[in-house]
């Protein structure tokens, strides 16, 4: 296979290294030269020139700042891209950074050979899947800049036999008492100012995540009109479904009475906001007037500054909860689904799994593949309503606090 030259490849770093700067300058020069050729050809009536043969390495260094800013990559994601680019796409024996974008797009055998070479070099399949995930994002940008790259369609999308991560993570189902311990830890935040101003909101977010099963973006976009304080049914408009990644666009989920009471108290503290107001508006801070909807970076900030530190404090205080240390806010929704399966029916009995799948916003097939053990054990559970379990757990924790 063609080996990428150092100039074409250039190691990817956070700083502007000389090679990185060279690659950027070179790709800009190519694009400007091609633009001038097209303009001159149109003016003189000559035949339009062939598309510039920009290499994968040159194009990547041209678009990497755009991808990073647009996708808001940072931390571990940037580290992953560094690893993929430097260790694999720029590998001296099997790297493909020196190939032109056009040749990669129009010659699937090059990508097939790349897979074979990585396998022979001992690169395991999950890492190969990450490499092709990076390539997929690069070719998405290449198709948008087809005049420069000559790429009109993403070849990764149509590639047969591309590596798959086969990543299947079993849901971690927390008992109600563990959820309430986490909620109490957040309510008792060590910063007195945060306890005074935001602890009610943060505690409500834990309750909503754990007992009504929203995805993070669903909760951030939930308005008071759909909060369910009057009906007992919260209505989520799933952004994931609108992007074509889930089957249910609008779904209703039962809202436990203790959570409804929290919502009502929070609404009173906010001064009974209007129906079109988000239930968790951003506070006034810096240039923000307050009341805006959460953006993805706001959610990540809450996760990193509130949720994860609370988990860390809780695990340090109760080592028996060490299995919670790596959880994310998304994982709390598994608790709601398991509670509905075991106690979401009449008189605290099991609910219909198909109905629970509708409440959770995914397909019945997903329900059976992820929660089969919960469904099988639901009939052996003693009847107890979800409201009773939440109240008993809170009473127990408050008594020992």
- In angstroms, the CA 211 to CA 291 distance is 25
Report pTM. Answer: 0.65
- CATH 1.10.443.10 at 176-400, yes or no: yes
d(CA 212, CA 334): 10
pLDDT at residue 318, rounded to an integer: 94
pLDDT digits (tens, 9 = 90+) for 304-343: 999 999 999 999 999 999 999 889 999 999 999 999 999 9
pLDDT given for residue 25 in this prediction: 54
Whether the predicted pLDDT of 172 surpasses 90: no
Q: State the average pLDDT for the chain.
A: 83
* pLDDT band with cut points at 50, 70 and 90 for residue 176: very high
Greater pLDDT, 41 or 202: 202
Q: Model confidence over 221-276: pLDDT tens digits? A: 999 999 988 899 999 987 654 555 555 578 999 999 999 999 999 999 999 999 99
Q: Report the pLDDT value the prediction gives residue 286, as an integer from 0 to 100.
A: 57
46, 48, 54, 60: CA torsion to nearest 10: 130
The more confidently predicted of residues 291 and 226 is 226
Whole-number Å distance between alpha carbons of 325 and 398? 23
**CA gap 88, 159 in Å, rounded:** 19
What's the whole-number mean pLDDT along residues 112-133?
Answer: 91
Kindly calculate the radius of gyration of the chain based on its CA atoms and give it in whole angstroms.
26
The domain segmentation of the chain, as residue ranges, is 6-158, 176-400
């Amino acid at each position: 296979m063609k080996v990428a030259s150092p100039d074409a490849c250039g190691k990817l770093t956070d700083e502007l290294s000389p090679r990185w700067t060279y690659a950027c300058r070179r790709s800009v020069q190519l694009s400007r030269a091609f633009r001038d050729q097209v303009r001159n050809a149109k003016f003189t009536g000559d035949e339009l020139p062939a598309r510039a043969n920009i290499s994968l390495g040159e194009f990547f260094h041209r678009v990497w700042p755009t991808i990073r800013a647009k996708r808001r990559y940072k931390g571990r994601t940037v580290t992953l891209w560094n690893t993929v680019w430097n260790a694999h796409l720029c590998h001296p024996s099997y790297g493909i950074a020196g190939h032109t974008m056009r040749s990669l797009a129009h010659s699937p055998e090059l990508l097939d050979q790349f897979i074979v070479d990585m396998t022979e070099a001992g690169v395991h399949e999950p890492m190969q899947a990450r490499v092709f995930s990076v390539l997929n994002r690069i070719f998405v940008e290449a198709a948008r800049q087809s005049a420069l790259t000559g790429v009109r369609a993403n070849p990764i999308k149509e590639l047969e036999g591309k590596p798959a991560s086969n990543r299947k993570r079993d849901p971690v189902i927390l008992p109600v008492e563990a959820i309430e311990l986490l909620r109490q830890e957040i309510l008792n935040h060590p910063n007195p100012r945060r306890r005074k101003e935001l602890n009610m909101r943060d505690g409500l977010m834990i309750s909503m995540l754990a007992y009504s099963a929203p995805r993070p973006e669903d909760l951030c976009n939930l308005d008071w009109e759909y909060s369910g304080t009057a009906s007992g049914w919260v209505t989520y408009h799933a952004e994931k479904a609108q992007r074509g990644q889930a089957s249910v666009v609008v779904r209703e989920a039962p809202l436990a009475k203790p959570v409804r009471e929290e919502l009502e108290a929070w609404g009173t503290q906010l001064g009974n906001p209007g129906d079109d107001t988000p239930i968790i508006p951003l506070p006034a801070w810096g240039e923000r007037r307050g009341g805006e909807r959460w953006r993805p970076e706001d959610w990540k900030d809450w996760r990193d500054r509130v949720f994860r530190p609370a988990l860390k404090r809780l695990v340090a205080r109760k080592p028996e909860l060490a299995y919670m240390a790596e959880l994310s806010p998304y994982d709390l929704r598994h608790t709601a689904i398991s509670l509905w399966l075991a106690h979401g029916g009449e008189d605290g009995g099991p609910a219909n799994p198909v109905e629970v799948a509708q409440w959770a916003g995914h397909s019945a097939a997903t329900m059976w593949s992820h929660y089969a053990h919960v469904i099988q054990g639901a009939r052996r559970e003693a009847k107890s309503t979800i409201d009773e379990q939440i109240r008993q757990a809170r009473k127990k924790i408050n008594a020992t606090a």
